[in-house]
Chains A and B, each alone.
Chain A
Amino acid sequence: MAHSEEDILAGLAEIVNDETGLPADAVQKDKSFTDDLDIDSLSMMTIVTLAEEKFEVRIPDEEVKNLNTVGDAVSFIAQAQA
């Protein structure tokens, strides 16, 4: 069953919290992974890998660099699962 964008955001927030310790409510759609959340390239790959498993989607490596904000990731996952 497809996840709603709200579900995806909540799920991503949980993954980011587990990886970085940032409070889940800091993970908002307008936040930049690198500039606002201070997530480096390896942590980003962890988040992507866990998101792939959680939402049963494939996020190609070459796509990861386009996921600047949390909102970009939510949109990509929402479309990828459709």
Chain B
Amino acid sequence: MTKPTLAQPTPVLGSRILAVGGSRGSELVPNDDIVGPINSSDEWIQQRTGIRTRARAATGVTIKDLAVDAANDALDKAGLTGSDLDAVLVSTVTHFEQTPSLATIVTDAIGATPAPAYDVSAACAGYCYGIAQADALVRAGTAENVLVIGVEKMSDFIDPTDRTISFLLGDGAGAAVVGRSDTPGIGPTVWGSDGSQSSVIYQTHSWLDYRREELGEPVPETPETAEEVSQMTTPTLRQLGPTVFKWVISSMPNIARRAVDAAGLQLEDIDVFIPHQANMRITDQLLKLIKFREDIVVGRDIADTGNTSAASIPLATERLLREGQAKGGDIALQIGFGAGLAYAAQVVVLP
């Protein structure tokens, strides 16, 4: 007797982003308010990063609140409700509970239960990782509508005395609804990681070491964390800024070009460039090296919002569309890169 054949949903030809929503921390904190503990100046920060203010959530506003606001904004713009969603993906590194995932909590808050929901941990590449997953789920026929949220409340994770990364960081959420399309609206994702460089953007010490210290248990010291562990403060972020800068400008132009090539396009077909909002100097250098069309529109949300990690690309997209700098149908190249090191780039048609 022959074994029965398993059924699978029928794949669809394409997916596209139906809408992008956003929610920023409501407090725009100027450089002058944070330079004291890092012995810096407004001029230095603007010259090195292009940041004038960073958005930070008001007291009492949680990461869930930011994510729900962005999700509802995206759903409204798509003309959908939570019950239309078949999956919810949340990219974040600042949800401070090991379990349950932030995605399940947000899914319930937006009326999307019982949609499958899970978190993605890819730091500043997280939104592009989420879009890659959503595109695959939709094209495989596994889901019809997928919500991707990039959300961070970096202000819960930073160290005001840190001169390497904290002063860059802001709070916010961006969300995209990905649905079916007769023609592909999301190109192939070119992505990857390099864990051999995991100490380039890093957490000072693990929550497990912190817990052991609190409980008075022996904390295993390693050469990398010995200095931080001996001080034993709450774990926080650090980066080797110039090293990150060099990695991005030496590696990401090629990833960007490969994403354009994978989509079957030429660089001159790209109308809008939306890089992770890491640092304006990085954006400017990428522009110089990739050599787009002269009239390329560029996401520069970092100047006011700061670096919001997984939220930065959808927030920059939301702003370009809201302010009319970009319009529906424009072809955009988005690229995320950060801790891991992890990176991802894809061409998308803007909603």
Contact = CB atoms under 8 A, between A and B. Distances in A.
Interface of A: 40-42, 44-46, 48-49, 52, 61, 64
B249 A41 contact: no
A40 B246 contact: no
Contacts, number: 28
A61 B48 contact: no
Interface residues of B, number: 13
A61 B249 contact: no
Given A49-B250, A52-B250, A42 B245 contact: yes
24 contacts: A40-B47, A40-B48, A41-B242, A42-B241, A42-B242, A42-B245, A42-B279, A42-B281, A44-B242, A45-B242, A45-B245, A45-B246, A45-B249, A46-B249, A46-B285, A49-B246, A49-B249, A49-B250, A52-B250, A61-B240, A61-B242, A61-B243, A61-B246, A64-B242
A41 B279 CA distance: 14
Given A44-B242, A45-B245, 9 more contacts: A40-B47, A42-B242, A42-B281, A45-B249, A46-B245, A49-B246, A49-B250, A61-B243, A64-B242
Contacts of A52: 250
Interface string B227-271: 000000000000011110110011000000000000000000000
Contacts of B250: 49, 52
A48 B246 contact: yes
Nearest to B250: A49
A42 B243 contact: no
A65 to B, nearest CB: 9
B247 to A, nearest CB: 9
Contacts of B47: 40
Contacts of A64: 242
A52 B249 CA distance: 12
Overall SS of chain B's interface? helix
Interface of B: 47-48, 240-243, 245-246, 249-250, 279, 281, 285
Contacts of A41: 241-242
A31 to B, nearest CB: 20
Nearest to A65: B242
8 closest residue pairs by CB, A with B: A45-B246, A49-B250, A41-B242, A45-B242, A45-B245, A61-B243, A42-B281, A42-B245
A82 B242 CA distance: 27
Nearest to A40: B48
Nearest to A41: B242
Residue with the highest number of chain B CB atoms closer than 10 Å, among A42, A44, A52, A64:
A42
A16 B281 CA distance: 16
Interface centre among B240, B246, B250, B281 (most CB of A within 10 A): B246
Contacts of A44: 242
Contacts of B285: 46
A49 B250 CA distance: 6
Contacts of A40: 47-48
Contacts of A45: 242, 245-246, 249
Contacts of B279: 42
Contacts of A48: 246
Nearest to A48: B246
A49 B245 CA distance: 10
A40 B250 CA distance: 18
Nearest to A53: B250
Contacts of A61: 240, 242-243, 246
A42 B48 CA distance: 8
